[in-house]
Amino acid sequence: MDGSAPPGPEAPHQFDPRAQASGEPPASAGAAALEGRRKGLTEPQREAGLHAEGPLLVLAAAGSGKTRVITRRIASLIHRGVPPWSILALTFTNKAAGEMRERVASILLGDHIDASKMHEHRATRGLTVSTFHSLCARLLRRYAAEANIKGLTPEYSIYASADQTAAMKNVLATLGMDTKQWPPRSILATISNAKNELLDADAYAAQANDFYAKKIATIYSAYAAALRTANAIDFEDLLLFTERMLRTNETILSNCRDRWRYLLIDEYQDTNRAQFEIARLLAGDPLATGPNAGPGPGPGPNICVVGDPDQAIYGWRGADITNILDFEQRYPGARTIKLGENFRSTPAILGAADRLIKHNEQRKDKPLFTTRPGGTPLEVTITSDERKEAALVADWLGAARASAEKASQPGGAWKDCAVFYRTNALSRVLEEEFRAAGVPYIMARGTAFYEREEVRNALAYMRVVANQADTVSLLRIVNTPARGLSKATVDALRARANSEGEPLFEIMRRGRESALQPRTLKALDRFIETVDGWTGSGSFMGAGISGSLADLVDRVIRESGLQALYEKRASGSESDSDAERLENLDQLVTSAREFENEYDPTRDPALPGGDEDPFAEDVPPLLELLRAWLESVALVADADKVDPESGAVTLMTLHASKGLEFANVAVVGLEEGVLPHFRGNESEAMLEEERRLAFVGITRAMQRLHLTSAKYRQVRGVTERTIPSRFLEEIGRDDVRFSDQSDDYDTYRDDGYRDDTDQRSPAERSGRGTTITRGWTPGRPLGAPAPIASGGGNAAADSAREAFPPGCRVRHPQFGEGTIESIQAGQLVRAKVKFRTGTKTLVLEYARLRRID
């Protein structure tokens, strides 16, 4: 195609010929009318799509065609002559970004264009669709030098969770702090929270009052310093640094503002403080004065945000729902459009979702409605354990497919099916039972591959090639495979690096100064030579020479000795895991090859916009490719791996399901402690977020929905008694087909929701099978008493009284926190505990009581 970008077949004024002709779409839900309207757009959809200048808030209920509105709006802007490179759309996942880009192109060009060629087309060239994190990563690379952030060069590494932990452990070690008392993960959680609130180490220290906070402040600044020497930034830094860069550097900010005149943000309810500020800086703040002020007279900043407060599920990550709730105050004159009609789900599904979400008190009530007819009632099933639950789901999906096919409805293929769960641990049984039942499935775990030991090793090599200062990666590979550089040697070098404040690799180069054994020195020299061989002593890559990324990765895997290491292990033992490791290394090379084949520098948001073609240079330098590849690897999300054409059932967490839809959906594990998760039981706000999470899962379903709950569930290898989720009760029984398929005779009242205190499994009660003695096994937490002997009487009760004196606070996995009222002796020692929900009598041996005061 030539450069003149002919208008697509769907010019903006033709988006909805019917609506154009007749004004409001008909309210009746006749099949023909519905069909006609679904092809076009509803009035509010059309309005949002055509909105031109000034701030716009789209409050889009689940399934109301939100993505459609954004894509239409982008297409309509471009069609109206807005240059694509001046549009910036921010999505939640890379996957969503890719899809949006393609959909915009397909609206503009028609569906007949080869999708793989789409991105090359001029019509969308320079259009930026990206996640916040990718955008920030690119901006920081592009402007690293200019912004003059200490120690940050464009080669910087991105530290994701495992790297962060490793870095933190090193920091704690140098500070001489005990990791038992200062758990790296929880310190990191505190620091991330601070970063999400835009508090850097200094700002954090300034507001630290108590002992703990002051201690954290010390660790924070040491951690920040360690990352600087390593030329590394962590996930939260991506946002933090970008915000600071834009706020303090006028030239960079005006560069960005000059380029992006139109800003669109999806899933705005899940943005955190840092993201809010970045958006505000890019769009221009109408309420601010000075350099960050808005665009001056006119309709206001062209910022369009789309979201649904009922689907806010990332509060734990610092997301702040008030960003969307207060949008109209932040951007006066904002136009607000509400998309309330659901086009996705059957009335039964939508009704259940509505009844559930109504239980949230911190919520503006907004009715959910659909004009879709019919559909089957949703199903709720109680099974006896998680294995039966998984088997039931496998069966049900098979049946759902068959009936969809018979009725020639959508949903007749495996790819139309999905299973959601609260935590990843629940996927295991599902996998096993699906395999046994011959149901094809894929798991949306995008990061899993990159978390494998061998892959991480190879990537650590690549990161050192790109960024020799990267201490965490260097420490990982320096003696893997073993090359005679012992822990003692490395520790000594590290201590030196720390005291001199130099990157470890530099100290290693000057190994001669460190009084090492000749043998160790030789090993060290060899290692450095090997690395220098890949980088050409830092010159050939830096000179911008082109080459194949995959070839480089392959070379590194061989010459590092990783290949030989796993080959040796694979031939030595017949464990397939080592053979698998070799395959994974191959796959990594393949992934690098795919990346370089598909790499499109025109998508780099850090490139200047404008009408001149900044993309003339056709082959990107190898180092550039390597950086981009490592970055993409660091920023993959689980949801990125969802493949709608896979021909298999998709298994994923509820979080990952956001934004997707499937004809047939099962949500498993509707149990207290699982969904809602026990960690979410601590406050009303957290409980409401759990409820929204359930709501998100339910509203993914188009045709058929099945919610399941298992009476017993194995957690960490031990069977536990469960209580059905309160969410099931809240959904109620209208339009619900309920069935209790647990072969257990006790406990459930005939409404299906249980209230008893016998926590033994059927096997225990019948005296057969494995004895399950989970939890309060004496001697475990807090120096509990001697074992309760079988038939134990007073002795056991006495020691229990010692461990749980009346009045002490305890936590129960399902009931939450409570207070001990009394301990009763007997064959089985029981405790009377007062919980928020009422007083229960629990068998101490089986209830997992933990003292918490």
Residue among 67, 424, 548, 841 that touches DNA (CB under 7 A): 424
Give the Å distances, CA to CA, from 767 to 710, 743, 744, 793: 21, 16, 15, 20
Least distance between DNA and beta carbon 175 (Å): 16
Tokens 């060629």 correspond to what residue? 117
Residue whose CB is less far from DNA, 148 or 486: 486
Q: Which of 141, 494, 627, 655 is in the footprint of DNA by CB under 7 A? A: 655
Looking at the Cβ atoms of 386 and 640, the one nearer to DNA is 640
Q: Of 121, 260, 139, nearest to 600 (Cα)?
A: 121
Q: Which of 15, 92, 695, 776 binds DNA (CB under 7 A)?
A: 92
Sign, Cα dihedral of 371, 376, 382, 383:
negative
> From the list 323, 489, 563, 742, which residue makes contact with DNA (rule: CB under 7 A)?
489
Determine contact, residues 15/46, Cβ cutoff 8 Å: yes
Which span (129-137, 411-419, 431-439, 583-591) binds DNA, by CB under 7 A?
129-137
The window from 327-335, 416-424, 492-500, 720-728 that contacts DNA (CB under 7 A) reads: 416-424
Please identify which residue in 560, 653, 742, 761 interacts with DNA, judged by CB under 7 A: 653
Stretch that binds DNA, among 240-248, 304-312, 356-364, 716-724 (CB under 7 A): 716-724
Choose which of 93, 302, 383, 471 interacts with DNA (CB under 7 A): 93
Tell me if 178 sits within 8 A of 169, measured CB to CB: no
Using CA atoms, how far apart are residues 776 and 785, in angstroms rounded to an integer? 10
Taking alpha carbons only, the member of 144, 272, 153, 133 closest to residue 631 is 133
Distance CA 422, CA 677 (A): 8
First to last CA, the chain: 72
Select 188 or 462, whichever has its Cβ closest to DNA. Answer: 188
Nearer to DNA (CB atom), residue 13 or residue 435: 435
Assess contact for 560 and 477: CB atoms under 8 A: yes
List b or e across 580-616, with b for residues whose CB sees 16 or more CB atoms inside 10 angstroms: ebbebbeebbebbbebbeebebebbbbbebeeeeeee
Question: Which x/- pattern, by CB under 7 A, does the window 271-310 give for DNA?
Answer: ----------------------------------------
Per CB under 7 A, contacts with DNA among 685-714 are 686
How far apart CA 610 and CA 328 sit, in angstroms, is 32
Cα separation of 67 and 39, whole Å?
15
Stretch that binds DNA, among 69-77, 478-486, 545-553, 703-711 (CB under 7 A): 478-486
Told to check if 763 binds DNA by CB under 7 A, we report: no
- Residues serving a catalytic function are 66-67, 266-267, 311, 700
**Residue of the chain from 680, 775, 785, 813 that contacts DNA (CB under 7 A):** 680
Stretch that binds DNA, among 119-127, 223-231, 679-687, 734-742 (CB under 7 A): 679-687
**With respect to DNA, which residue has the nearer C-beta, 380 or 635?**
635
- Min separation Cβ 164 and DNA, Å: 9
Distance, CA of 266 to CA of 304 (rounded, Å)? 9
| Cβ distance to DNA smaller for residue 31 or 515 | 515
| Span of 245-253, 577-585, 677-685, 826-834 interacting with DNA by CB under 7 A | 677-685
Take residue 313 and report the two structure tokens written for it.
């599920």
Footprint on residues 306-335 left by DNA (CB under 7 A): 316-317
Q: By C-beta, is 84 or 775 nearer to DNA?
A: 775
- Residue 560: which of 449, 453, 452, 460 has the closest Cα? 460
**Contact with DNA (CB under 7 A) among 129, 455, 635, 701:** 635
Q: Which of 15, 156, 220, 235 lies at the binding interface for DNA (CB under 7 A)?
A: 235
Among the residue ranges 141-149, 476-484, 610-618, 825-833, the one whose residues contact DNA (CB under 7 A):
476-484
Q: Which of residues 518-537 bind DNA (CB under 7 A)?
A: 520
Name the one range near DNA by CB under 7 A: 380-388, 467-475, 487-495, 841-849. Answer: 487-495
Contacts 24+ apart (CB under 8 A), 46-50: 46/15, 46/16, 46/19, 47/337, 48/72, 48/73, 48/337, 48/339, 49/12, 49/15, 49/73, 49/76, 50/12, 50/15, 50/76
Kindly write out the interface string for residues 138-177 of this chain, putting x where it contacts DNA by CB under 7 A and - elsewhere.
Answer: ----------------------xx-------x--------
Choose, by CB under 7 A, the member of 84, 446, 605, 775 that binds DNA: 446
Q: Work out which of 138, 259, 335, 677 binds DNA, going by CB under 7 A.
A: 677
Q: What string of DSSP letters covers 591-602?
A: HHHHHHHH--GG
Cβ neighbors of 63 (< 8 A, separation 6 or more) are 342, 343, 344, 345, 350, 661, 699
Q: Is the peptide bond before 183 cis (omega within 30 degrees of 0)?
A: no
Residue whose C-alpha is closest to residue 549's, from 453, 440, 624, 626:
626
The candidate with the shortest Cα–Cα distance to 136, out of 268, 266, 281, is 281
Residue 494 binds DNA, judged by CB under 7 A: no
Residue 799, φ and ψ in degrees, nearest 5? -70, -30
Q: How far apart are CA 119 and CA 128, in angstroms?
A: 11
Residue 370 DSSP symbol: -
Tell me if 447 contacts DNA by CB under 7 A. Answer: yes
Please identify which residue in 46, 79, 133, 754 interacts with DNA, judged by CB under 7 A. Answer: 133
Residue list 779-818, contact with DNA (CB under 7 A): none
Q: Which is nearer to DNA, 67 or 161 (by Cβ)?
A: 161
Coil vs helix vs strand at 417 = strand
Which residues neighbour 34 within 8 Å (Cβ) at sequence distance 6 or greater?
A: 371, 372, 373
- Binding test (CB under 7 A) with DNA, winner from 51, 101, 257, 422: 422
Give the residues lining the site for DNA (CB under 7 A). Answer: 92-93, 131-134, 160-161, 169, 183, 185, 235, 316-317, 422-425, 446-447, 479, 482-484, 486-489, 520, 635-640, 652-653, 655-656, 677, 679-680, 686, 716-718
